[in-house]
Amino acid sequence: MNDFDEIIHSPDFKQKTKKFGEILSKFNKIHSLTKYENLDFVMQDSLNGLKFITNSPKIAIDVGSGAGFPAIFLALVLKDCKWHLFEPNIKKSSFLTYAKINLGLENVIIHSKKIEDEAKFEADLITSRALMRADLLLEICKGFYNKETLFLLYKGSNAENEIKNLKDYKLNRYQNRVFLTFKGEKNG
């Protein structure tokens, strides 16, 4: 995580996360995008995933991006990576587009659709936060990963129930989160 400390503690990062919080608060009053009111907790939870990214991704996909957790925070840190955020809910994808523009996130592309409705391209990293079981996520992501693609899934306490069909995975516990990581190679 040391490589990212400088970015996370920079005035630019702090200014952008503050602005993101303001935008989220504004949208949340009207559209009820998320139940989280403490953005610091969600931001730290999102950034904790950096500890488990073992490659240097150039193309990343976040499936079911919702209100932007973890993808927006990861995109602020991994600036050399092109982030594709898939969110079919029009309210949420509109919010993400608004946030992307207002934060100047040129490395982020918003897809207002389900990933399975997109033309296939391969990613180096695929993330998702509590969207669906890992085996179902693998299924809908077919064509978007190869043997080197790293999956980083933000899971809760029931993560053990999702690993029975996976091979060569790691369950990484950090604070109140379970990070499930595996490569596409043995699981696709």
Residue ranges for the known binding site are 64, 69, 115-116, 129
DSSP assignments along 111-139, one per residue: E-S-GGGSPP---SEEEEESSS-HHHHHH
With CA atoms as reference, report the closest residue to 30 among 98, 112, 87, 88: 98
The set of residues, in sequence order, having a beta carbon less than 8 Å from that of 74 and lying 6+ positions away, is 46, 47, 49, 50, 60, 62, 83, 127
- Kindly state the DSSP code that residue 83 receives in the 8-state scheme: E
Q: Phi/psi of residue 62, each to 5°?
A: -115, 120
CB 94 within 8 A of CB 120: no
Binding-site residues for S-adenosyl-L-methionine sit at 64, 69, 115-116, 129
